[in-house]
């Protein structure tokens, strides 16, 4: 017994070090896939207040540019509303359209903190549970997709951005219809890659890459980027595709969170597939 | 008492400067400037490892909470706190440390500071980038980030001392 106590005395510093280290590292590694708590993240009350203060200073740096972007988007949308069109045939009457049902709703938000130089980059958004944001919703801006909601508090949320290790968004090359998963290698915030594109497909450079919309997070056809380089991978029947993101992640401010009104229905249906068939 | 208040103000300043200024910088080439190990370095010589570890833990968590790194800064600051007394012992002057002095660039001399703090900073950055990637296939990127970031962080730490830490009076 005496020896045991002496042992603990001798190594107590080392053991404290190991204990704290285990806490920190396990928190880091589990949080990448599933956040354990919202307290050690920028969605917590204290750090979001600090970031809100920071944002009230730094938001002016890209304000002009972002206003022009919003204006462009407005003009594009304005072209579509009915008051823009002149009525050519006044005898036509409006009927209730049952062919279309609204599937996606968009919640506007502003990014108050972002980074691009880490291996896994998380952005902080100024809307949260009270505004209807939930974990797993997609986020996009007018130029392209941003990421998926990772952690939510009452008034703030954290986005796991496209610039993370395991983002794996379903994407599709618009011209050829080939689909793969979006990846980021951690080097350049302007370029990403797509894995799993078979090299018997004919793919043109600079063709558009859009979301596939399979998992119900993003609607089909949201812009992601354009193919920049195309190389065959040695020893595998796959293309090594590098794409250039259409969004500049260092400057984003105004984004939209996607609320899929039919998500639950889709999930319920997909749960009914017996697991042995999926395997 | 005065010492505690000074260190407390330093603590808050280091956290805010790191989280709100240096973590926001996008220099490119994977460079990430981290100056907060300087806070642990500048604590008095006789500070016990226990206090160092706890301070490192709190400081790391506050930086993590603001910049969404979920414990990565904490982990790498803990290794600095643990290694500090060991490295201080290795580089101890023959007559031991003068406890009135601070472990700063001006009071301990260029050579001592460069070797001790350089080593601590290298350990810190290497630990940070290794666990950030945690993938052997990304070793070139880890080395690139470490080699480019350490000198920049080191220079900025000296620069910060020139501005904020009071120089010893001429005797």
Whether B140 has its CB under 8 Å from any CB of chain A: the answer is no
Question: Is residue B91 included in any domain, yes or no?
Answer: no
Q: What is the ipTM of this complex?
A: 0.87
Backbone angles phi, psi at A40, to 5 degrees: -95, 55
Per the structure block, which two tokens stand in for B53? 């570890």
Question: Is residue B119 included in any domain, yes or no?
Answer: yes
Which residues lie across from A108 on neighbouring strands? A256
The pLDDT tens digits of the residues spanning A208-237 come to 999 988 778 888 888 999 999 888 888 888
- Across A58-62, A114-118, A194-198, B166-170, least confident range: B166-170
CATH number of A170-249, picked from 2.60.40.1930, 2.40.10.350, 3.40.50.620, 2.40.10.10:
2.40.10.350
Residue to test with chain B: of A19, A24, A123, most B Cβ within 10 A: A24
Question: Is residue B158 included in any domain, yes or no?
Answer: yes
> Is pLDDT of B68 > 80?
yes
Q: What b/e string do you get for A60-88 counting C-beta neighbours within 10 Å, with b at 16 or more?
A: eeeeeebeebeeeeeeeeeeeeeeeeeee
- What pLDDT score was predicted for residue A149? 92
Q: How confident is the model at residue A68 (pLDDT cuts 50, 70, 90)?
A: confident
> Is pLDDT of B122 > 90?
yes
- What pLDDT score was predicted for residue A83? 67
CB A16 within 8 A of CB A8: no
- What kind of architecture, by CATH, is found in domain A45-78+97-161? Beta Barrel (2.40)
CB-defined contacts A:B, below 8 A: 102
Question: Is residue B76 included in any domain, yes or no?
Answer: yes
> Is pLDDT of B128 > 90?
yes
CA distance, residue A51 to nearest chain B CA (Å): 7
Return the residue matching tokens 């997070």. A217
How many structural domains does chain B have? 1
Domain that holds residue B121: 2-86+97-164
CA distance, residue A200 to nearest chain B CA (Å): 28
Closest to A24 (Cβ–Cβ): which among B20, B27, B71?
B71
The pLDDT tens digits of the residues spanning A258-276 come to 988 888 888 888 888 777 6
Q: Which chain A residues have a beta carbon less than 8 Å from that of B66? A: 42, 47, 50-51, 113
- What pLDDT score was predicted for residue B149? 93
Q: State how far the Cα of A149 lies from the Cα of B64, in Å rounded to an integer.
A: 18
- What pLDDT score was predicted for residue B171? 45
Closest to A31 (Cβ–Cβ): which among B16, B32, B70?
B70
Half-sphere exposure at residue B118, Cβ-oriented, CA atoms within 13 angstroms: 10
- Across A39-43, A154-158, A186-190, A223-227, least confident range: A39-43
Q: Is A77 helix (H, G, I), strand (E, B) or coil?
A: helix
CB B117 within 8 A of CB B41: yes
Whether B89 has its CB under 8 Å from any CB of chain A: the answer is no
Domain with CATH 2.40.10.340 in chain A: 45-78+97-161
Whether B82 has its CB under 8 Å from any CB of chain A: the answer is yes
Domain with CATH 2.40.10.350 in chain A: 170-249
Q: State how far the Cα of B140 lies from the Cα of B155, in Å rounded to an integer.
A: 23
The pLDDT tens digits of the residues spanning A14-28 come to 889 999 999 999 888
Question: Is residue B170 included in any domain, yes or no?
Answer: no
Query: Does A186 contact B133 at a Cβ distance shorter than 8 Å?
Result: yes
DSSP A11-38: HHHHHHHHHHHHHHHHHHHHHHHS-S-S
Query: Does A16 contact B28 at a Cβ distance shorter than 8 Å?
Result: no
Which residues lie across from A180 on neighbouring strands? A171
């Amino acid at each position: 017994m005496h020896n045991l106590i002496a042992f603990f005395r001798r190594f107590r510093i080392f053991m404290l070090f190991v204990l704290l280290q285990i806490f920190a590292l396990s928190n880091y590694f589990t949080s990448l896939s599933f956040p354990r708590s919202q307290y050690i993240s920028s969605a917590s009350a204290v750090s979001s207040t600090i970031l809100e203060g920071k944002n009230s200073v730094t938001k002016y740096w890209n304000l002009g540019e972002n206003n022009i972007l919003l204006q462009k988007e407005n003009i594009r949308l304005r072209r579509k509303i009915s008051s823009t069109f002149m009525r050519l045939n006044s005898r036509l009457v409006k009927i209730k359209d049952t062919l279309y049902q609204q599937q996606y709703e968009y919640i506007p938000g502003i990014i108050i903190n972002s980074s691009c130089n880490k291996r896994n980059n998380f952005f902080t958004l100024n809307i949260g549970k009270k505004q209807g944001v939930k974990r797993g919703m997609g986020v996009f801006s007018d130029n392209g997709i941003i990421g998926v909601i990772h952690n939510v508090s009452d008034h703030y949320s954290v986005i796991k951005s496209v610039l993370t290790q395991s983002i794996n968004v379903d994407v599709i090359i618009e011209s050829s219809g080939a689909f793969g998963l979006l990846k980021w290698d951690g080097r350049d915030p302007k370029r990403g890659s797509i894995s799993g594109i078979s090299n018997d497909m004919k793919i043109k450079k600079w063709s558009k890459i859009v979301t596939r919309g399979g998992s119900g997070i993003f609607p089909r056809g949201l812009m992601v980027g354009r193919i920049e380089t195309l190389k065959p991978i040695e020893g595998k029947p796959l293309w090594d595709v590098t794409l250039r993101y259409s969004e500049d992640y260092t400057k984003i401010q105004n984004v939209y969170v996607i609320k899929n009104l039919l998500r639950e229905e889709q999930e319920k249906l997909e749960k009914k597939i017996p697991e042995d068939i999926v395997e | 008492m005065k010492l505690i208040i000074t260190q407390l103000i330093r603590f808050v300043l280091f956290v805010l400067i790191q989280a709100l200024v240096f973590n926001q910088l996008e220099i490119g080439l994977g460079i990430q400037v981290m100056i907060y190990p300087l806070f642990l370095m500048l604590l008095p010589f006789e500070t016990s490892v226990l206090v160092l570890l706890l301070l490192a833990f709190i400081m790391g968590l506050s930086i993590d909470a603001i910049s969404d790194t979920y414990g990565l800064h904490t982990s790498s600051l803990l290794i600095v706190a643990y290694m500090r007394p060991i490295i201080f012992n290795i580089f101890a002057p023959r007559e031991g440390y003068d406890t009135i002095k601070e472990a700063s660039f001006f009071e301990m001399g260029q050579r001592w500071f460069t070797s001790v703090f350089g080593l601590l900073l290298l350990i810190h950055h290497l630990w940070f980038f290794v666990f950030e990637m945690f993938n052997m296939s990304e070793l070139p990127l880890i080395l690139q980030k470490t080699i480019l970031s350490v000198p920049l962080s080191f220079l900025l730490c000296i620069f910060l001392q020139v501005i904020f830490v009071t120089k010893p009076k001429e005797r």
